């Protein structure tokens, strides 16, 4: 009978910012039982990847796991893969960070397990052509992509049973195809059906190489998989079948069997990611169009000509993701400008790399997670802010405002750097796009809007049309209700949200900037020219926003003006909101609420031990409501907290040429 060589293994990672109980649950349900079972089958080799953050957690909480893994590496049963230490999307991060993260994991594996990895794992199988050069320069010899990626690159299914060389500027790396059809069978198909699929592959051609690399959470952590894999002994039976059929089936790892690394040819892959992400990178309407077109074709080979989107499209689909990416690049520049103290720079690099974890840079086929997971998103910001603090320490520093194209949109933003606060002033809308409180390394504008998704069942679940920033201008109709604002069914009477403001003045050293826009108000079916001016003054722990609204029309106007401020708190459940009226304080709660004739509002963020106060020179009315995104996991409809939205509003009349002035101060203090 013809033979088949099988490369079997798992890849395992837990992102920075995940809850400790989620680490523990995955360990007990998947990582521990899998490795224990594999240990009891010493003749069955496997290739395994664990990210650095998971290794760090295991060292602290379950060192016995590492002892077992070390023994399996010593007896040459397990080959460990390298890659980026904190599971970054390698193609997104600067080349120096790519090499640094790979070397960090390589060093860890060498010092902890006594082996230098030859193969590397790509997070989410995101590939861009320059990676061939980067991976080779880092000392890695091979990596893995989906067989679908080979088909897209022109390698037919009948040729997709061995490694191919990818090349960039004379540097080559071997790429082995993961057999996706086999992966999808685990653990839904029976072990006997799995074996039959392997037997069918062997019959077609002798000496083929099949790669079965499975997400470790499929083997115990996903719903129902622990019962199937371990209680019903699916995995033990599968292992026994692999061992019992060695006359034609040869499980191996590339490190032990050089013959499986003989290239079948050369291939040039386009920009790729695993299939679910390539679809999810498209906007909602294009996803639906793509799925309809796929159904019409109904031919498996059509996938080679319909790859879907491109991973970097996530940066344009979700503006908040682009802001996080911009923060990554900005922090990279700060850290790499450090000179002198190598220990301090090493610590700053550690935090920079920690913030680059790839779990937050996408939103995939699963309804939750990715960029919509506020814990992961804010954990990245926390690491970047910590890296910046380390880079600043030991150096002379003067607060100032710097004009720079922070978000790479071709227009200047204004970056304030203070001793306790950082802020980004966005000329489109003249709001704040980032507000970092350095004492607790927290971006209180690390928010997320409710963008529409294909899985949404109601319009209001994905109804936002602007970024959830701070100091945003609204003009409401007289009958507008908080419910209509929450569901975005109200009518915006002004054209100031998302629209460009002009710079009026910039006093860099005085931490003072002014912006203005002459737009229009649509009232009673008529357009009225109107000007909004904002002046930001940054203080040690406060932002002062002075407002000037001017009626440039010839008519008298009755107005209801609102100023929106969003705050991404560490935990909605622990937060407290209090309305301030003179010396009185009234609890508002974190659900939808309204209040009138207030002087201020106090927001307590206990997890960060921070008190945030919004105060106005003019008494105001308040809308307070949570911003929650909606998803549909297998268990049913779920809401995920993103931020608290506060709308301060005033009703007043302006005669022709008259103006209204106000001032709102946002203050942050440690409690």
- The answer to whether the CB of 603 falls within 8 A of the CB of 577 is yes
**Residue 609 to residue 480: CA distance in whole angstroms:** 35
- Residue 522 is predicted with a pLDDT of 96
Same domain, 618 and 563: yes
Same domain, 388 and 463: no
Q: Residue 557: which CATH number?
A: 2.70.98.10
**Residue 464 to residue 261: CA distance in whole angstroms:** 50
**Residue 272 to residue 124: CA distance in whole angstroms:** 10
Same domain, 145 and 245: yes
Same domain, 139 and 73: yes
Same domain, 390 and 480: no
Residue 620 lies in a domain: yes
- Residue 657 is predicted with a pLDDT of 96
- Residue 457 is predicted with a pLDDT of 84
Domain boundary among 372, 396, 420: 396
Domain boundary among 214, 236, 271: 271
Most distant CA atoms of the chain, gap in Å: 93
Structural domain of 584:
459-670
Pull the structure tokens for residue 188. Answer: 């839904």
**Radius of gyration of the chain from Cα atoms?**
28
pLDDT tens profile 592-632: 999 999 999 999 999 999 999 999 999 999 999 999 998 87
Residue 433 lies in a domain: no
Domain boundary among 363, 381, 396: 396
Does the global pTM surpass 0.85? Answer: yes
**Residue 610 to residue 605: CA distance in whole angstroms:** 5
Per-residue pLDDT for 368 more than 60? no
- Residue 307 is predicted with a pLDDT of 78
Same domain, 392 and 463: no
Same domain, 391 and 469: no
Please state the domain count of the chain.
3
Residue 614 lies in a domain: yes
Pull the structure tokens for residue 477. Answer: 């109709």
Pull the structure tokens for residue 156. Answer: 């037919």
- Residue 561 is predicted with a pLDDT of 99
* Count of H-run helices and E-run strands, the chain: 18, 27
Same domain, 385 and 464: no
- The answer to whether the CB of 172 falls within 8 A of the CB of 166 is yes
- Residue 609 is predicted with a pLDDT of 96
pLDDT tens profile 113-151: 999 999 999 999 999 999 999 999 999 999 999 999 999
Helix (H) or strand (E) holding 620: strand 610-631
Helix (H, G, I), strand (E, B) or coil at 203: helix
- Residue 367 is predicted with a pLDDT of 45
Higher pLDDT, 303 or 551: 551
Provide the strand spans (E) within 84-163. Answer: 120-121, 142-146
Q: Write the DSSP symbol of residue 23.
A: H
Question: For residue 547, what are the β-bridge partners?
Answer: 534, 662
Per-residue pLDDT for 440 more than 80? yes
- The answer to whether the CB of 385 falls within 8 A of the CB of 403 is no
Same domain, 249 and 354: no
Question: For residue 251, what are the β-bridge partners?
Answer: 6
Q: Residue 55: which CATH number?
A: 3.20.110.20
Stretch 357-385: mean pLDDT: 86
- At 536, the pLDDT band (50, 70, 90 cuts) reads very high
- Residue 369 is predicted with a pLDDT of 67
Where is average pLDDT lowest: 270-279, 363-372, 546-555?
Answer: 363-372
Per-residue pLDDT for 306 more than 80? no
**Residue 536 to residue 532: CA distance in whole angstroms:** 13
Same domain, 250 and 323: no
Residue 64 lies in a domain: yes
Residue 411 lies in a domain: no
Same domain, 332 and 267: no
Residue 453 lies in a domain: no
Task: For the beta carbon of residue 454, count every other beta carbon within 10 angstroms.
Answer: 17
Instruction: List, in order, residues 6 or more apart from 196 with CB less than 8 Å away.
Output: none
Stretch 520-525: mean pLDDT: 94
**Residue 589 to residue 624: CA distance in whole angstroms:** 9
Per-residue pLDDT for 305 more than 80? no
The CA dihedral of 216, 221, 222, 227, to the nearest 10 degrees, is 110
Same domain, 495 and 644: yes
Residue 441 lies in a domain: no
- Residue 105 is predicted with a pLDDT of 99
pLDDT tens profile 288-297: 888 888 777 7
Sign of the CA dihedral running 593, 599, 603, 604: negative
Helix (H, G, I), strand (E, B) or coil at 251: strand
Residue 438 lies in a domain: no
pLDDT tens profile 15-49: 988 889 999 999 999 999 999 999 999 999 999 99
């Amino acid at each position: 009978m013809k033979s088949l060589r099988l490369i079997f293994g798992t890849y395992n990672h837990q992102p920075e910012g995940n809850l400790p109980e989620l680490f523990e649950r995955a360990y007990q349900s998947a990582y521990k039982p899998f490795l224990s079972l594999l240990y009891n089958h010493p003749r069955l080799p496997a290739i395994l990847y664990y990210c650095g953050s998971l290794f760090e957690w295991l060292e602290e909480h379950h060192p016995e796991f590492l002892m077992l893994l070390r023994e399996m590496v010593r007896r040459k049963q397990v080959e460990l893969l390298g890659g980026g230490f904190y599971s970054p999307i390698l193609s997104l991060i600067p080349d120096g960070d790519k090499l640094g993260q790979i070397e960090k994991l390589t060093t860890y594996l060498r010092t902890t397990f006594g082996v230098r990895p030859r193969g590397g794992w790509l997070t989410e199988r995101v590939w861009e052509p320059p990676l061939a050069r980067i991976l080779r320069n880092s000392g890695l010899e091979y990596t893995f992509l989906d067989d679908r990626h080979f088909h897209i690159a022109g390698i037919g299914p009948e040729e997709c049973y061995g490694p191919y060389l990818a090349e960039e500027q004379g540097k080559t790396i071997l790429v082995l195809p993961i057999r996706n059809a086999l992966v999808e069978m685990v653990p839904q198909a029976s072990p006997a059906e799995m074996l039959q699929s392997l037997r069918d592959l062997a019959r077609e051609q002798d000496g083929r190489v099949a790669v079965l690399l499975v997400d470790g959470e499929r083997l115990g952590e996903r719903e129902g998989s622990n019962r199937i894999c371990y209680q019903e002994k699916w995995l033990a039976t599968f292992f026994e079948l692999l061992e019992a059929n060695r006359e034609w089936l040869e499980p191996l790892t590339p490190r032990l069997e050089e013959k499986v690394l003989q290239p079948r040819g050369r291939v040039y892959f386009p920009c790729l990611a695993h299939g679910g992400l390539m679809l999810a990178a498209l906007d909602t309407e294009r996803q639906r169009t793509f799925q309809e077109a796929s159904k019409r074709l109904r031919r498996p080979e059509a996938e080679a000509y319909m790859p879907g989107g491109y991973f970097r499209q996530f940066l344009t689909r979700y503006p908040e993701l682009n802001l996080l990416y911009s923060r990554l690049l900005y922090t990279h520049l700060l850290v790499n400008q450090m000179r002198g103290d190598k220990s301090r720079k090493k610590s700053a690099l550690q935090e920079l790399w920690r913030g680059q974890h790839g779990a937050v840079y996408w939103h995939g086929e699963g309804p939750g997670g990715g960029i919509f997971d506020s814990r992961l998103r804010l954990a990245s910001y926390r690491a970047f802010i910590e890296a910046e603090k380390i880079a600043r320490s030991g150096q002379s520093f003067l607060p100032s405002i710097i004009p720079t194209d922070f978000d790479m949109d071709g227009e200047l933003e204004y970056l304030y750097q203070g001793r306790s606060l950082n802020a980004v002033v966005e000329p489109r809308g003249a709001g704040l796009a980032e507000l970092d409180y350095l004492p607790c390394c927290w971006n209180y504008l690390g928010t997320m809007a409710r963008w529409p998704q294909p899985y949404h069942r109601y319009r209001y679940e994905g109804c936002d049309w602007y970024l959830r920033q701070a100091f945003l201008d609204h003009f409401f109709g007289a009958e507008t209700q908080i419910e209509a604002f929450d569901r975005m069914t109200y009518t915006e009477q002004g054209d100031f949200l998302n629209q460009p403001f002009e710079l009026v003045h910039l006093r860099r050293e005085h931490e003072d900037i002014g912006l203005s826009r002459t737009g229009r108000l649509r009232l009673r079916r008529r357009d009225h020219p109107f000007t909004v001016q904002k002046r930001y003054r940054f203080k040690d722990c406060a932002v002062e926003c002075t407002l000037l609204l001017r009626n440039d029309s010839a008519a008298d106007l009755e107005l209801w003006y609102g100023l929106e401020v969003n705050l991404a708190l560490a935990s909605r459940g622990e937060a407290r909101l209090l309305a301030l009226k003179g010396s009185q304080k009234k609890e508002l709660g974190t659900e939808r609420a309204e209040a009138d004739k207030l002087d201020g509002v106090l927001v307590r963020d206990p997890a960060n031990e921070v008190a945030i106060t919004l105060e106005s020179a003019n008494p105001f009315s308040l809308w307070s409501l949570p911003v929650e995104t909606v998803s549909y996991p297998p268990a049913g409809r779920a809401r995920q907290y993103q931020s608290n939205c506060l709308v301060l509003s005033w009703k007043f009349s302006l005669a022709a040429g008259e103006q209204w002035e106000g001032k709102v101060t946002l203050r942050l203090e440690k409690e």
